[in-house]
Structure 1
């Protein structure tokens, strides 16, 4: 079982009713599970700490984030000196790769784009463009392609919108180190040590969670919490199941 976090296990700082009990059920039943998130606003340990504060027990090894996947990809390709556009806590995940200083506009081994939220300005986004245009070989690495997410005050743009802007401006195609890229889901499946067709992905995003998981050969279960909208069921993506919330997962599991 793969569980998205924001919108599925919790919304903002509040757990989805019944979610804590469902995670306890997964543990009792011995069902291998991981938490998948496209968040780039906090490192893995911060995610573990947040879950603990909500009553959900987990370990860092059970949380797969885009930053972890991106560092592994950069390391495999021998790339150092990345320019990281992400919150400070997430950028710290890249310290082993000797990241570029924030005021430098050339010489980046890669340009890594995460969710800076209100930290995005024209100057910041333009610096990312200049770094890409200074060397055609510099890869653009996206920490996920989520278009938006639901905060307590409403919808907010996520990293995907800024990645698309840079792809268009620089004529570059991003390497995606998060959902919905099949490689990201493949890394999760590999960590569970089971075949992809035996893995269920539970998410609230019809495109990033469900379509992405299905392209990777997983079962996609959509929940009506978080960013879910009734219009999600009118498009081309067809979830394998639609649940009111994560709390309904054990019943669906028993009947499937």
Structure 2
């Protein structure tokens, strides 16, 4: 099968806790050298696209911010479509800054939408209570920037936003709208950006549900790598990947 382009996850595939994974940067630079198009499809809600772009540039991988697809970009589009100029964000200062730069107030107690992302640096009980009250009082819509259960850090597995989304869903008796992976709409935006048929694109990730399952929803084959949280054992409810490879550098053989 022809592989003409890639969708590539970041955390656990290109880097872990901001440190590049051996072989990943050289693989990306080789793709650029060969003229093989790729886009980054990340569920990172802690950092803005510009912050991610700057990090990649420090590694020696220069890409436009438009090549980086995150739930924050999807959230901005969603709020604009809804005619909402504000929200209540449970997330990082960098995420709040990206929303502000798009003209969206991230801390409006009268908001019609509550967004939940990475709260690892700002986790406070009162912040969640306010979000819960907005859901109840305003009948606000709960938006999950991502719904992953956990991710891999330098010191082991860490809780991801899905756990906190589930808490608010339970307390407010609502169901969240998912904006990031494995949303088919999210993957379709990245696939459309590549301008390639789905059958010629491969998604590379470390999460069987978010990466492989999400890619399958738009008919893109999935490759799991062993550098992140995937331990080689597929969950019973996860779709089977096309391939399982040691790391990102091994995808180069798929283009030959």
TM-score (norm 1): 0.92
Give unmatched runs, 5+ long, in structure 2: 1-5
Segment of structure 1 superposing worse, 223-232 or 234-243: 234-243
Task: Say if 2:248 is the partner of 1:246.
Answer: yes
Q: What is aligned with 2:224?
A: 222
Q: SS of 2:106's equivalent?
A: coil
**Cα distance between partner residues in 1 of 2:191 and 2:106:** 30
**Cα distance between partner residues in 2 of 1:112 and 1:49:** 25
**Cα distance between partner residues in 1 of 2:201 and 2:141:** 31
**Cα distance between partner residues in 2 of 1:247 and 1:40:** 25
**Cα distance between partner residues in 1 of 2:37 and 2:216:** 19
**Cα distance between partner residues in 2 of 1:84 and 1:11:** 25
Q: SS of 1:97's equivalent?
A: coil
**Count of paired positions:** 249
Deviation, structure 1 residue 49: 1.1
Equivalent of 1:100, from 94, 102, 107?
Answer: 107
**Cα distance between partner residues in 2 of 1:48 and 1:166:** 31
Q: Say whether the 8 Å CA contact 1:85–1:91 is kept in structure 2.
A: no
Q: Say whether the 8 Å CA contact 1:14–1:54 is kept in structure 2.
A: no
TM-score (norm 2): 0.92
**Cα distance between partner residues in 2 of 1:234 and 1:253:** 30
Aligned positions of 1:82-161 closer than 5 A: 82-95=87-100, 96-101=103-108, 104=109, 107-136=110-139, 138-161=140-163
Q: CA RMSD in A?
A: 1.6
Q: What is aligned with 1:16?
A: 21
Deviation, structure 1 residue 121: 2.6
Q: What is aligned with 2:9?
A: 4
Deviations 1:211-242, CA, capped at 9 Å, x for gaps: 11112211111001111113226654200110
Aligned positions of 1:148-227 closer than 5 A: 148-227=150-229
**Cα distance between partner residues in 2 of 1:60 and 1:202:** 19
Greater RCO (CA < 8 Å, at least 6 residues apart): 2
Task: Write out the 4+ residue segments of structure 1 that deviate beyond 3 Å after TM superposition.
Answer: 233-236
Q: SS of 2:107's equivalent?
A: coil
Deviation, structure 1 residue 151: 1.1
**Cα distance between partner residues in 1 of 2:115 and 2:238:** 31
Change (3 A) 1:233 1:252: farther
Deviations 1:53-101, CA, capped at 9 Å, x for gaps: 2222222111111111100111011112211111111111111023334
**Cα distance between partner residues in 2 of 1:152 and 1:122:** 26
**Cα distance between partner residues in 1 of 2:154 and 2:138:** 40
Q: Say whether the 8 Å CA contact 2:234–2:240 is kept in structure 1.
A: no
